[in-house]
Copies of this chain bind each other. A is one copy, B any other.
Amino acid sequence: MSKKEGANKNIKSRAPTESDVAKVAGVSQSAVSRAFTPGASVAQSTREKILHAARSIGYQPNLLARSLATRRSNIIALAISNLENPFYAQVVKELSEQLAETGRHILLFTTNAEEDENQALEQALSYQVDALVMAASKASIELTMQCQKAGVPIVQINRETRLPGISTVWGENQRAGELVAAFLHASKHEEYAFVAGTKDSTISQMRQKGFIEYLSSVGKKDVKIVYGDYTFETAAIVARQLLEVEKRPDAIFCASDYMAFAVIDVATREFGLDVPNDLSVIGVDNVPESAHSAYDLTTFSQPAGSLVQEAIIIIDKMIADPGRRAIRCEVAGDLIVRGSAKRPKTGFVNNVTNKIWLP
């Protein structure tokens, strides 16, 4: 006989269920269920009686059982990588808080390599999540199909995969590139470089496109492109490669603030350069750290809160009407002018709003 079967039955007492409440309140289990269902058909008096009984025995509804019965778990799966990048930490925080407003919560999946991540996400589907949000994380075709079949909406934040049926929310990527290029060009820079993200990141490609196309249009056709893989370490490595050549760039645009930090670090510490006098650096995201004086980074903003808000709106639409097509949504950003890049001498920046416009 195991020692768990002790005399004291408190030790292994089950959590109270609706049936227990029903017994105490002298009603049926269904009545209890209705008492906890907003808008259900119960007399006010019995509802109160039931709630009182529930409180007296410390009843808490079992949300798993509820989810099983209603086919709605109120759980949203979030697949995310690069959590060390403060932008994505912000996304997690925003999503968690905004979902909490409607009583929903995040089931978290952090993904590193892309090998098995989709497998992990299939598992997410097994939890009957109401939707799947992917941030800096790619959906495979198989996963998409599975979601379609299961009727689970997928929303990608800040990531683009041209698969049908996947909704996407992103920032103004191409405009970011153009605006940054215009700003840097107006500030009379000579040698330009772009620190891209990963090679297959469409987001990075769009920023690059805007950047080099604008520069090309003003005669700067030799923009150096390197890949920082969205990580601090790789960005530091490619920054070294950029800066160690004799004709080094004096303007570097980075596909993320986080990589821009690495570039600034390398430039100032390892090459003794002065930012922005020797080198201008501009990023994208406007993470809180960009405002810290250690970096004081000029950057094109990508407001995490708004991206998340749009993502949730999309999720709700897709849930309300499962048949509808994927939704794509662009969230506006702005060039935030700080001290890491030389500013144009003349009327390019609005000193009141700190915003700039294309000449």
Contacts and interface: CB of A to CB of B under 8 A. Distances in A.
B83 A93 contact: yes
A159 to B, nearest CB: 18
A68 B58 contact: no
B108 A146 contact: no
A145 to B, nearest CB: 9
Interface string A51-90: 0000000101111110110000101001000011010011
Given A120-B100, A149-B15, A126 B61 contact: yes
A contact residues, range: 35 or more
A75 B107 contact: yes
A109 interface: yes
B96 A109 contact: yes
A15 B151 CA distance: 9
B4 A323 contact: yes
A329 interface: no
A107 B67 CA distance: 15
Given A58-B149, A84-B93, A261 B292 contact: yes
Interface in A89-111: 89-90, 92-93, 96-97, 100, 103, 105-110
A84 to B, nearest CB: 6
Contacts of A96: 108-110
26 contacts: A15-B149, A58-B146, A60-B122, A60-B146, A63-B123, A63-B126, A63-B128, A64-B64, A64-B73, A64-B127, A64-B128, A65-B68, A75-B127, A83-B92, A83-B93, A86-B86, A92-B108, A105-B108, A105-B109, A105-B124, A107-B108, A232-B292, A262-B292, A264-B294, A265-B293, A289-B289
